[in-house]
Chain A
Amino acid sequence: MAGLELLSDQGYRLDGRKAAELRKVQARMGVFAQADGSAYIEQGNTKALAVVYGPHEVRGSRSKTLHDRAVINCQYSMATFSTAERKRRPHGDRKSTEMSLHLKQTFEAAVLTNLYPRSQIDIYVKILQSDGGNYSACVNAATLAVVDAGIPMRDYVCACTAGFVDETPLADLCHAEESGGGTSLALALLPRGGHIALLQMDARLHQDHLETLMEAAMTACKGVSKVLDEVVRQHLQEVSALTGE
């Protein structure tokens, strides 16, 4: 059997999308009452849940305390049932640790931490179902959760992946496209200013292609930001309707 044809001559991808099209994004905010902020997001078949606690005083060792800003603590985990094969360890493996670190870096760049010196913000994200673009789903979910918690940010942090097949950049890769070889670039963007919070790429890519790929990823992130913005406004309307204001 021949391998998968990631992009057909007619310009359709495996799942019927065109090169620059995102998967269907659906999101909800305030899914848990207990937490300070929470959100649930679906990007195609990738589903993620984010929960935010804080800002609160620094727990555990006091030595972590920063005097000019808040500490951001991130924990990433994947549900054992999230992939086709059962996962043994939901969190704490190398990949998860790395992902936690990336999330931490992303949100340190976006959250106005200097407003909360000597305190801590916890962000917990869990992948419920994984179908490519786990990092971006987590960032997008966490953004909504942080907004839900009412913690001030510079801008939404929107993340999206982009890949490169047959000289064409593809936005928002699904699992089959990610594992089909080739490059995958993850970008977290503060869309209004166009600032990059995090950029990650593992595979090799020729320098000539980098620009077009970045371009595609940025456009995709801006697309995501529109959806997120809508979700936030929608949520706000619902909440204000409930409180009768």
Chain B
Amino acid sequence: MLKSKTFVKKTRSGGIMKIVREHYLRDDIWCGSEVCTECKQEETVLQKDTYIESNLCSFPHYLLPDTNIVLSQIDILEDPLIKNVIILQTVLQEVRHRSAPIYKRLKDILHDKEKHFYTFTNEHHRETYIEREQGESANDRNDRAIRISTKWYSDHLNNTPTDKRLKVVLLTNDRGNKEKAEESGLLTYRCEEYVKSLIANPELVDRLALTNDDKNEITSSKVLFPEHLPLSRIQSGIKSGTFQQGTFRASRDNYLEATVFVHGEGDDSTEVLIQGLQNLNRAVHQDLVAVEILPLNQWVAPSSVVLQDEGPKEDDVTEEEEEAELKSGPSGAASRKPTGRVVGIIKRNWRPFCGMLFLSQIKEATRHLFTPADRRIPRIRIETRQAATLAGQRIMVAVDGWPKHSRYPNGHFVRSLGSAGDKETETEVLLLEHDVPHQDFSQAVLSFLPKMPWNITEEDMAVREDLRNLTVCSVDPPGCTDIDDALHCRDLPNGNQEVGVHIADVSHFIRPGNAMDLEAANRGTTVYLTGRRIDMVPELLSSNLCSLRSSVERLAFSCIWEINDKAEIVKTRFTKSVINSKASLTYAEAQMRIDDANMNDDTTKSLRGLNRLAKILKKRRIEKGALTLSSPEVRFHIDSETHDPIDLQTKELKETNSMVEEFMLLANISVAQKIYDEFSECALLRKHPAPPPSNYDILNKAAKSKDMVIHTDSAKALADSLDAAQVDGFPYFNTLLRILATRCMMQAVYFCSGMDSDFHHYGLASPIYTHFTSPIRRYSDIIVHRLLAVAIGADSTYPDLMDKHKQSALCNNLNYRHKMAQYAQRASVAYHTQLFFKSRGILNEEGFILFVRKNAIIVLIPKFGLEGTVFFENKDKPSPKLIFNEEAPSLTVEGHSFNMFDKVKVTISLDASNVQHQKIRMSLVEPVISGVSVAPSEPEPEVKRAKLDR
């Protein structure tokens, strides 16, 4: 083995330093090709026969893309058609420096055995390493390194027997590089050239990203946007304080408005308002941008107008009108917010977007606008020849760039998801848009499942406490198959009571570090959509082996307390156990047993004991200041055959719900304390920060409109004043207020105890909290189980469990997944609500005004838990006279004033005019305002009704 040394010099910012590093060159780096006879490689990646039919290269060949091809055309490389590609180390490193997401995708391809991608470590190869020459830029040097390696490969593969000879094709879009490569006799093509030459697969052309060369033909020469500043100026601007750096968040309701969330020192962070197309300056939702704050006299207030981009405009006049309208908004000095403009993009955060094609009016056109499902994303212009087939389908599109003279960003087609309106497709879109991993479990994951038939072994029994004789039962919602908790309660001889919470022992089946564990950690949570469940762990575990079903022996992790008559905990212990649940009940069944005085079996007695203690626990918790909040939740009755929703009802809470909840909370708190005592640095806990006072503004205003005062200085005060807020003859008022209060709250998050000092859970009024009770559907609970198992000596630790940085990275992923799962759930409910109203036709319902906007009111229908917007402006009709009072807040329409909590009657229908954004449309019925309200709709035809009521 030859080792030779060269020196690489490097300077770093902040004082120039000379850094000397060793660089070993080797002669044992192989070419990775099957045909090669010289290299002594053990494994080959590149295949002997490689067939990609192409007009340009009729011979077998390997591809060798340069860095820019990888960065811009990763979609092409990901296509299953493209195989046998050589990725140079130089390319890999450049990609790593320039784009983390693409680097990740490239790595995924490299790991995929089917793709036959080979990484050639050319920088350490004796014959392909080159030194940077005098006056040569780093980029030029890398280009040269790529050429040298291509040359080496061509020569190297020429040494093989003639009949098997292969060629190497360099793909580059850089003109200079291409010329130089051709000079030295290499086969070189531009990516477009090459992809277009592929005979069998014309549709691959659509996946080509538009590069700079094509740009001039696609847009007019009119410059629409100011130039973005170069990164160096942005950085110096941020340093000197003239610019702020923050995350760009487009407004859902108004495409001409956005906020930039500027992260300040520590906790203090501000929001900068951006208004108008020019100021938004091509930033896309979630980008990291630099903004410049405008002078104070140009500050504006956020408009309360709801404005949607209505597609390509004939001219810019309408747009300017809209902008003008936007700016003429209320400009009370108090409501003005820091306003700025985007001067540059620090990091794009583009992902492939789901949506639909908006066909161009010209039939033969190949350029079309694409409308993303997410309203915060602008339309994207793509080029495709399959427009006719893609119309009416849900498709995915990736963004390539946004030139300064184009109204819309340019992108390219990635793949089709299925026809729009189809339930499968819509669910797929929903899952993709919320980044929910929902593929079937891979074989690697399934291979870690226990072999069936599965039994509890002698060894299991030896290390576990035998609790099979206890009267354990589970109480869950109807239809629940993943039962992860069960309870028991019995009297002890000393007069105290023993209460046990038994949680499915998932960590027994999912061992740290294996494929199943990694998959579960990535998924983070089970996602419950209406009519579908996306499991975190394979079904065999979630619905069978881990599920604590009745009359079978199951492994459990038990938390057992001795509790005295006043529901004070005397003793707590944790143990791994074996249980045999005597009954799995629904909330309603359990309630019936408790209420039925004739039933006196052990299970019922145990339930009564639990219920009694739970009431005391709950009372004490509320005294301490725990909040009871409310959100309008609905549940669908799904037709068993068509899976269409046939009815919906709001969730009903029984005493037993709160009984189970109470003990789960108790278990979570006990476990949190235990693992924190044991592992102060790496315990996984959950906190709920207190919201900043400004969050309560809307609640205060709302209460004031009914002459009430809500105290928000502490959780306890808030809970008390919410309890006191009652209006005679308006029982739903309190619920409405609680719904509002819920929206003021912060998100509860997981965190690692070593990385944070504030543990308080605001909503539960508990100084410490974690999640222990649902390991089947939450990964956080699995980690907590593992920590607790170590704490009681039932299991051993493993390195990642004790590493607070890894733990905290895991928490970030879990928080993200939980948030996304929640959004996906809401979106699923919304979609099914639409389906429901589609089948129901037009309905008239009573509702309450939840918010008042400048040109609309938002109405909540308690019966369906449905929220909708009633617009007072209509494109076709002259707008009514609107007066908006921001202080109250109230909106006066033609003399009738709408306040929060007003009762209104609306008619609900489904607006299917836009297939992509089907929405529930509400129009006002009562109070009657001429020219604004509509006549109540006719009852539906009898036939239809009969069918539905079946």
Binding site for B on A (CB under 8 A): 1-2, 5, 8-10, 12, 14-17, 23-24, 44-45, 84-85, 131, 174, 176, 204-209
Known contacts A1-B97, A24-B5, A206-B799; is A15 also within 8 Å of B23 by CB? yes
Q: Are B799 and A176 in contact (CB under 8 A)?
A: no
Query: CA separation between A176 and B8, bound complex, in Å?
Result: 13
Query: CA separation between A10 and B23, bound complex, in Å?
Result: 16
Instruction: Quote the shortest CB–CB distance from B6 to chain A (angstroms).
Output: 10
Known contacts A8-B121, A9-B110, A12-B124; is A208 also within 8 Å of B22 by CB? no
Instruction: Quote the shortest CB–CB distance from B865 to chain A (angstroms).
Output: 46
Which of B12-20, B188-196, B274-282, B391-399 binds A?
Answer: B12-20
Query: CA separation between A207 and B97, bound complex, in Å?
Result: 34
Q: Are B20 and A12 in contact (CB under 8 A)?
A: no
Give 13 new A-B contacts, CB below 8 A, not counting A16-B124, A176-B21: A9-B107, A9-B111, A10-B121, A16-B23, A16-B121, A16-B123, A24-B3, A44-B22, A45-B20, A84-B19, A174-B22, A205-B799, A209-B799
Q: CB of B802 within 8 A of chain A? A: yes
Q: Are A131 and B799 in contact (CB under 8 A)?
A: no
Query: CA separation between A99 and B798, bound complex, in Å?
Result: 32
Q: CB of B903 within 8 A of chain A? A: no
Q: Are A9 and B119 in contact (CB under 8 A)?
A: yes
Q: Are B96 and A17 in contact (CB under 8 A)?
A: no
Q: Which residue from B24, B89, B103, B121 sits with its C-beta under 8 Å from A15?
A: B24
Q: Of residues 13 to 50 in B, which have CB atoms within 8 Å of A's CB atoms?
A: 17-26
Known contacts A2-B100, A16-B123, A84-B17; is A23 also within 8 Å of B22 by CB? yes
Query: CA separation between A12 and B799, bound complex, in Å?
Result: 24
Q: CB of B797 within 8 A of chain A? A: yes
Instruction: Quote the shortest CB–CB distance from B116 to chain A (angstroms).
Output: 15
In the assembled complex, which residues on chain A have CB atoms less than 8 Å from the CB atom of B107? Answer: 9
Query: CA separation between A61 and B170, bound complex, in Å?
Result: 75
In the assembled complex, which residues on chain B have CB atoms less than 8 Å from the CB atom of A206? Answer: 797-799, 802-803
Can you show 6 pairs from A to B with CB atoms below 8 A apart? A5-B96, A15-B22, A17-B24, A23-B22, A84-B17, A131-B22
Instruction: Quote the shortest CB–CB distance from A12 to chain B (angstroms).
Output: 6
Q: Are A2 and B97 in contact (CB under 8 A)?
A: yes
Binding site for A on B (CB under 8 A): 3, 5, 17-26, 89, 96-97, 100, 103, 107, 110-111, 119, 121, 123-124, 797-799, 802-803
Instruction: Quote the shortest CB–CB distance from B415 to chain A (angstroms).
Output: 27
When C-beta atoms are compared, the residue in chain B nearest to A167 turns out to be B799
Query: CA separation between A174 and B25, bound complex, in Å?
Result: 16
Instruction: Quote the shortest CB–CB distance from A113 to chain B (angstroms).
Output: 37
In the assembled complex, which residues on chain B have CB atoms less than 8 Å from the CB atom of A44? Answer: 22
Q: Are A85 and B24 in contact (CB under 8 A)?
A: no
Q: Are A85 and B17 in contact (CB under 8 A)?
A: yes
Instruction: Quote the shortest CB–CB distance from A180 to chain B (angstroms).
Output: 12
Q: Are A45 and B22 in contact (CB under 8 A)?
A: yes
In the assembled complex, which residues on chain A have CB atoms less than 8 Å from the CB atom of B20? Answer: 45, 131
Query: Nearest 4 A-B pairs (CB), nearest first?
Result: A206-B799, A16-B124, A16-B24, A15-B22
Instruction: Quote the shortest CB–CB distance from A9 to chain B (angstroms).
Output: 7
In the assembled complex, which residues on chain A have CB atoms less than 8 Å from the CB atom of B797? Answer: 206-207
When C-beta atoms are compared, the residue in chain A nearest to B22 turns out to be A15
In the assembled complex, which residues on chain B have CB atoms less than 8 Å from the CB atom of A9? Answer: 107, 110-111, 119
Query: CA separation between A45 and B22, bound complex, in Å?
Result: 7
Query: CA separation between A131 and B7, bound complex, in Å?
Result: 13
Q: Are B124 and A208 in contact (CB under 8 A)?
A: no
Query: CA separation between A204 and B754, bound complex, in Å?
Result: 15
Instruction: Quote the shortest CB–CB distance from B107 to chain A (angstroms).
Output: 7
In the assembled complex, which residues on chain B have CB atoms less than 8 Å from the CB atom of A84? Answer: 17-19
When C-beta atoms are compared, the residue in chain B nearest to A44 turns out to be B22
In the assembled complex, which residues on chain B have CB atoms less than 8 Å from the CB atom of A17? Answer: 24
> Mostly helix, strand, loop or mixed at chain B's interface?
mixed
In the assembled complex, which residues on chain B have CB atoms less than 8 Å from the CB atom of A174? Answer: 21-22
Known contacts A206-B799, A208-B798, A208-B799; is A8 also within 8 Å of B89 by CB? yes
Instruction: Quote the shortest CB–CB distance from B25 to chain A (angstroms).
Output: 7
Query: CA separation between A206 and B802, bound complex, in Å?
Result: 8
When C-beta atoms are compared, the residue in chain A nearest to B7 turns out to be A45
In the assembled complex, which residues on chain B have CB atoms less than 8 Å from the CB atom of A85? Answer: 17
Query: CA separation between A190 and B100, bound complex, in Å?
Result: 46
Q: Are B26 and A16 in contact (CB under 8 A)?
A: yes
Query: CA separation between A18 and B5, bound complex, in Å?
Result: 15
Query: CA separation between A24 and B2, bound complex, in Å?
Result: 10
Instruction: Quote the shortest CB–CB distance from B103 to chain A (angstroms).
Output: 8
In the assembled complex, which residues on chain A have CB atoms less than 8 Å from the CB atom of B803? Answer: 206
In the assembled complex, which residues on chain A have CB atoms less than 8 Å from the CB atom of B119? Answer: 8-10
In the assembled complex, which residues on chain A have CB atoms less than 8 Å from the CB atom of B23? Answer: 15-16
Instruction: Quote the shortest CB–CB distance from A1 to chain B (angstroms).
Output: 6
In the assembled complex, which residues on chain A have CB atoms less than 8 Å from the CB atom of B798? Answer: 206, 208
Query: CA separation between A10 and B21, bound complex, in Å?
Result: 20
When C-beta atoms are compared, the residue in chain B nearest to A205 turns out to be B799
In the assembled complex, which residues on chain B have CB atoms less than 8 Å from the CB atom of A16? Answer: 23-26, 121, 123-124
Instruction: Quote the shortest CB–CB distance from B482 to chain A (angstroms).
Output: 32
Query: CA separation between A162 and B123, bound complex, in Å?
Result: 24
Instruction: Quote the shortest CB–CB distance from B124 to chain A (angstroms).
Output: 4
When C-beta atoms are compared, the residue in chain A nearest to B799 turns out to be A206
In the assembled complex, which residues on chain A have CB atoms less than 8 Å from the CB atom of B97? Answer: 1-2
In the assembled complex, which residues on chain A have CB atoms less than 8 Å from the CB atom of B22? Answer: 15, 23, 44-45, 131, 174
Query: CA separation between A174 and B22, bound complex, in Å?
Result: 9
When C-beta atoms are compared, the residue in chain B nearest to A11 turns out to be B121
Residue of B25, B103, B111, B798 most packed against chain A (CB within 10 A) = B798
When C-beta atoms are compared, the residue in chain B nearest to A164 turns out to be B799
Query: CA separation between A232 and B874, bound complex, in Å?
Result: 95
Query: CA separation between A46 and B799, bound complex, in Å?
Result: 32
Instruction: Quote the shortest CB–CB distance from B126 to chain A (angstroms).
Output: 10
In the assembled complex, which residues on chain A have CB atoms less than 8 Å from the CB atom of B123? Answer: 16
When C-beta atoms are compared, the residue in chain A nearest to B1 turns out to be A21
In the assembled complex, which residues on chain B have CB atoms less than 8 Å from the CB atom of A14? Answer: 21
Query: CA separation between A5 and B96, bound complex, in Å?
Result: 10
Instruction: Quote the shortest CB–CB distance from B786 to chain A (angstroms).
Output: 14
Q: Are B121 and A12 in contact (CB under 8 A)?
A: yes
Instruction: Quote the shortest CB–CB distance from B692 to chain A (angstroms).
Output: 34
Instruction: Quote the shortest CB–CB distance from B9 to chain A (angstroms).
Output: 11
Query: CA separation between A205 and B96, bound complex, in Å?
Result: 28
When C-beta atoms are compared, the residue in chain B nearest to A207 turns out to be B797
Instruction: Quote the shortest CB–CB distance from A220 to chain B (angstroms).
Output: 16
Query: CA separation between A132 and B5, bound complex, in Å?
Result: 17
Instruction: Quote the shortest CB–CB distance from B908 to chain A (angstroms).
Output: 51
Instruction: Quote the shortest CB–CB distance from B121 to chain A (angstroms).
Output: 5
In the assembled complex, which residues on chain A have CB atoms less than 8 Å from the CB atom of B111? Answer: 9
Instruction: Quote the shortest CB–CB distance from B694 to chain A (angstroms).
Output: 37
Query: CA separation between A24 and B22, bound complex, in Å?
Result: 10
In the assembled complex, which residues on chain B have CB atoms less than 8 Å from the CB atom of A45? Answer: 20-22
When C-beta atoms are compared, the residue in chain B nearest to A15 turns out to be B22
Instruction: Quote the shortest CB–CB distance from A229 to chain B (angstroms).
Output: 20
Instruction: Quote the shortest CB–CB distance from B477 to chain A (angstroms).
Output: 41
In the assembled complex, which residues on chain B have CB atoms less than 8 Å from the CB atom of A12? Answer: 121, 124
Known contacts A8-B89, A10-B119; is A15 also within 8 Å of B21 by CB? yes
Q: Which residue from B17, B25, B96 sits with its C-beta under 8 Å from A2?
A: B96
In the assembled complex, which residues on chain A have CB atoms less than 8 Å from the CB atom of B17? Answer: 84-85
Query: CA separation between A204 and B800, bound complex, in Å?
Result: 12
Instruction: Quote the shortest CB–CB distance from B592 to chain A (angstroms).
Output: 52
Query: CA separation between A209 and B3, bound complex, in Å?
Result: 30
Query: CA separation between A45 and B111, bound complex, in Å?
Result: 34
Query: CA separation between A17 and B3, bound complex, in Å?
Result: 9
When C-beta atoms are compared, the residue in chain A nearest to B26 turns out to be A16
Instruction: Quote the shortest CB–CB distance from A241 to chain B (angstroms).
Output: 28
In the assembled complex, which residues on chain B have CB atoms less than 8 Å from the CB atom of A131? Answer: 20, 22
Residue of B23, B119, B124 most packed against chain A (CB within 10 A) = B124
In the assembled complex, which residues on chain A have CB atoms less than 8 Å from the CB atom of B802? Answer: 204, 206
